Structure 1
Amino acid sequence: NRWFAAYATTLATWGALVGLRRIVSPELTLVVVRVIFSTAALIPLSFCHLAVVFPRPSSPRPRVLQAITTAGLLISGLAFSPWIVTGIEHVTGKASQPQYGVLHKVFAIYFVLCFGWGVTHLAVKLRRARGFARVQLQYLLFGAGITTVGALTTNLVVPLVFGTSRFSVYGPYFTLFWLGFAAHSIVRHRLMDIRVVISRTAAYAAGWVLTAGLLVGSAVFLDALYAVSNPTLTPLGAVFLGLGSSVLFLAFAPRIRRLADRYLYRPAYDAAQLIREGSRTMGTFSDPTRVVTAMGELIEGALHLESLAVLVRNRDGHALLPVFHSHVDPAFAWPDSLPASAALVRELREASGALTRDDLASRAEGESRDPATVDLRAWNADFAIPVRDGQLVALILGGAKLSGDSFFGEDFSLLETLASELSIGLKNAQLYHEVVSIKEYNERVLAYMDSGVIAVREDGVVTTFNPAAERITGLPAGDVLGQPLRRLDGAVQTVLRDGLAGQREWETEIAVSHAEGRILPLVVHTTALHDHEGRVNGAIAVLNDHSRLKALEEEKRRADRLAAMGAMATGIAHEIRNPLVAIKTFAELLPERSDDEEFKSTFAKVAVKEIHRIEKLLGRLRALAVPAAFNLHPVDLQVPIAETLDLLRGEADRRRVRLVVEIEPDLPPIMGEPDQLKQLFLNLFLNALDVMASGGTLSVSVRADRERPDRGLVTVRVTDTGPGIPREQLTRVFEPFFTTKSSGTGLGLAICRSIADAHRAALWAEAGPAGVGTAFVVQLPVLFDAVLAEAVR
């Protein structure tokens, strides 16, 4: 700044002395001219120093600068000797002309070389500069260049070439170009970091003076054009001049005022409009960065600040990071972050509103000693506005106004209102990102799940259909999403409609038809979806393909059958060996006693009896191998149970066994084969009667599982009051040829297990109530197809 002031001072002094030369007495003209040359010798010196230090000092410092300084000071001193100006030639009627000495050409060469070097140095800096420094260099170079070329032409080139200094009086006018560029750069671009405060009154007064100048100039022009009549001096001319003045003031004054406000960064803002714009903007963007940027641009456009930064708290809350920042100097080095433990952050956590540097200075002994002030300076800020959402989430740090005006209460009220809107915008953006993240997370989970997931709205429209559901059903998602439930398999429709009807979480087994024609066994977990008021607004079903599990179960059953074959072979050998032994014995004796009629008669009876025994055994074995492919169809379970009990009532009465039957009404249908079911229950009932030879009670209960409706089962419990089965043998009673009866074959319960497996039913034995007797339990899956169920009814 000192070299800038030196350059400006030498130019101003030189211009003033050139004008003074015209009005001094002839005796003082030589002294004034020598002072002019002495001052002029310092102009290139100060310009070269300014070129080196502006906008930042050159490194390393040019060595030629010392030579320029030495030459400038030497020539400035020599200007007072006759070697540059020897005297003054006074010509009557003409301006006095200096008489130049032997060093005048040296002075001219020095002048041209110094300015040439300075302009070249600035041009090199301009080519390398960026941003704010480049703009300042441009204005300085253009102003200094035009001034130098003009002044050199009128005050140096013309006197040297034409030997006259009559045009030197116009040289100082070229400094006006430098003055204009410098003033514009100071006001608009903070040239040399000079801050000029021009009051509104001064700006408006300048506008009014300009308008008055236009009027006066117009009047003088009219009077000169019509010199004889002087129209503006007549009464009518005065009236028109007054009216014209009023019209011009009314027309130009507001425009000049707005132009001055715009040029001096004082445009008025509409607070209500800005608040509406801020509210609209905060609801437009879902990205936090765009939200902050939009708010920063809104504040910057309204207040025209030297610097503005909006800092947002990072995810872990340890620091606030700059998301938006703007500075009149684009090369300004912004800090990377503001720690959450910084003094300024602590102050703002406790502050109720805006915090200014003046507030901090008024309570501290020295502004530089206050840590919060140091934080503000680091961000080139004069004030800080907290942005809160229950806690501090962001900061607005602003510098001084470009106009130099002070901040007023309405400015801070506007900023605090915009800070509240920014808080809402950040919260909305955060919630949006959380929703999007959760949605993406859920979509990825659904995409990689092995279970199919189908969700529907309350109106039955499918909203979710993941890839696993596509694979299980064989239907593409594009054909199902956004479509009603009827696009899905009937069994899936039923469980989802049950969910929409308000049925709570449950699990059931269903069979669906795949698009390829296969029947898939599925376990479906279904639940209703509720809104915040508890009303059902949808349902979701999770489908698990149990084809593999069923295949494994079949493999296990096959392995069990293979394992049982050994035991079965042993049992068969034992059961067939006894009658064969009897037949063999008689056959061996037959040759010796062929004439014995009684022996032959006895042999015939024994042979028939033992062969019948073998045939009966083979019949039971055939019953054990229940065909796996018999047709299943909807069955009301009450029918085969009732018919089987009717067959056994006479035998029960003969054995003095009381029958207690409890069958729940409106049982759901099952899939089964009636004759096989009759065989299953006949074996269970006969087994119970056999163990109650001296009487007892046979209890049969049939009911749907009401406590666990999600299981979709009908349970049949057959309980006797016989001696019971030891606990360690309960798991073995279904093995072929295992029996606890002295005359049993051990195939009856094995046949029951085979029939139950064919119906996908569970069968087990357990101790009776209070440890008395034995209970056999059969659980059969219910049928879910509503159409077939209605047909059964």
Structure 2
Amino acid sequence: MFLNSAAAPTLAAIVIQLVLGLVVFQANRRRKPNQCFLLLSIFIAIWLGSLYSVFSASSTEVAAFFIRQASAAAALIFTAANFLRLSIAERNRQWRGILRESWLWMIAAVAVVAFCQTRFFLEGARFSQPPGALIALAVPVYGKASVLYVVYFIITGLAVIFTYARDAKRATGIRRAEFAFILTGAVATLGTVSIAFALGFVVDRSRLVWFAPFRILLFSLIVAYGIATQKVMDVGFFLRRAMSYVLLTAYLLALYGLIWWLVFAFFNPLLPATARSAAHITAAVVVAFAMAPARGISQTFANRLFMGTRGLDFQSTMSQATAILKSVSTLSDLLERFAKTIAEAVNTERIFILLPGRSGYIQHYPPVDRARAIGGIEFSRADALVEFLGRNQNPIVMDELHRVRSTPELQRVAKQMQSLQIAVAMGIFSREHLAGVMLLGPRLSGQIYGSMEQNALQVLCGQLAVAIDNAQLFTEVQNARIYNEILLQNLTTGVVAASNDGLITVFNNEAEQIAELSSRELLEKPVSHLPLPLREVINETLRTGERQENRELVLSAPDGNVIVRASSSIFHGQDGQMLGALMVLTDITALKRLEMQIRRSDRLASLGTLSAGMAHEIKNPLVSIKTFAQLLPERYQDSDFRETFSNLIGHEIDRIDSLVNQLLRFARPAKPILRPLHVHELLEKSLILVSHRLYQKEIKLSRSWNADVDTIRADADQIEQVFLNFFLNAMDAMKHGGELMVATEIGPAVEWPSAVTGMNGEQHEVLRVTVRDNGEGIKSEDIAHVFDPFFTTKDYGTGLGLSVVHGIIQEHGGHIEVESELARGTAFHILLPLVRFAEEVAAA
């Protein structure tokens, strides 16, 4: 019964050890450290199995046999441990290389295994049950040469410890961590052995046999964690946490025992029946309340105890990062300060931050010279590393890629990271979207990026994503403001803006030149500081909220008046609330001067065209006068002759005077004066001026005055210039022969939607004057350009005539429409606001 009880823990340890070896092997079958750990687990299981057989042996012969096998298995454990060391030291080493470098170990192990089977090592076994022991244990009877086994065991053990410590010192990254976990497991196992040896002096050793198999399991568990776990902790953090729990457990047990003893000692004389229960309850309550503060104290003590093993100081780094994120202004400043903080925290010299670009992710830190295309890391969205980060949203650690089962995708990721000498790739995620990539190089201390560091970096990257959004928004706003300021200051039109409370907020460079005022003296000042014409426009817009379009204003200046065209409107905020008024100014002084020159040139061109007709019209009266002058001496006494020719000469002289006055009025530039006049009268006068040319080209003239009222408010000379221009163009279009039709009619503006309306939006009656010819017509694609300056389809002329008359009609509040069809002719409709006057309108 006692024998089976002692063997049970060993049997359980065998099963756990084999399962542990298989689990590590299955984690990555192709990885040599995983294979070597499975081999080590098999040898440990053989050793445990031999111990189990020794505990279960019923005879000394069986016990002696399995003692020999247990000793032989111990030698093989050292050899397997050396295999494990070599597989970790060089990642790509194959079994042939491992075996070649371990030939001395294997020879020694085979020799020891053979030696253990001789009587020189073990003569036999015997059962011994010391006084007070619960069970009888098989005790080996060693041979005379057993000291050789002890020497081998000491030399091999020291060799294993020395080579592991040497390789751990040389290794970096995950290899150093794996060596550190193996050494930690060995130290922990030796510690349990020492504790068991010390307890053997106060406790029956037969009771301690129960825990003996689990000492090697403690070693195997620690090694398995260091080899097979994907997210491995740094060994320093592992030790701090383990020590913290050990100290916490020891403190709470001691506290529980002390409270139990005190309460029991106090209540036992008074209530013997309930003293024990009261002591347990009181001790449990005290321990429950003491657990929270005790945990903090134990962690602090453990951190101080392992001060040299501290990794990333998460609290300090987070505080620094938070301060950076709060004070950042631009994206470049944010990335620089954040990257330096992270590099200092994890102790690395290489850190890169990539943000999305047009084709993928482009390096933004460290800054690169994109103009020269020098250096810089760039990932396309189809790169394996980017796709893996975006899909898994977990850090990619180079050391961990070798600990998991390899796939084609992981191989591409590892190759990419290896080419860049990157140890960790972190995704910067914003709303589940990969908003950037942070790449970290190896740590200068040789430590790994453990699970604690990875978690801390993930939290910091999450904060960085928010800060990047804010910094990009801030940068965009700054760039937009600078762009708008540059654009505003370099506009060729003046811009003036006033806030809702009447303060000037914008006064750009062109506005300064137009108004000859300084923006420094006007900004944030009331609009009353503006010149009167500008002030009236912007005040009216602020007061009524209505648009003011194309208002011509005259500004007084020391070197002459400045003519500007002003348009204004209100602008609203995002919530629809009115923010103020905006006025755009265009200096049209030079344009007005050019317009006057063009009109003068057009008048002269038209005057030249009319010269022949005017000469003929003047010549006819002169013939009558000349005839009268020649006949007067001969027939002076003839009273009928004198009376007839006297009346005729007066009439002809009046006719010449009228023609000359019309010609002078047409040719002489004058400031436009708007006054009431009859359109029909102007049409008749204009037709008289072109009548001779109509006769020469054999063009038939048709009049149709359908308008019963023909009064408008206009400048007679300018309107006459318009009619003459259309008449001359019509005659030019008909070459020789044809018909010129001139008609007038009245209608409401609604009949002609393109007609102008009043300033307040009301529609009025319109007088339409139509000039139609049956000439060549105008191409449909040219109709939109007939009023453009310098556009002409003739072989001669400047192309300014229609542009000038279009401007004149617009100044009179009118509009011109064009209808044309090739080979059938063209019609120009001149729409002018009709004015009905109460009094009779004088002749033009």
What TM-score do the two structures reach when normalised by structure 1? 0.47
What TM-score do the two structures reach when normalised by structure 2? 0.44
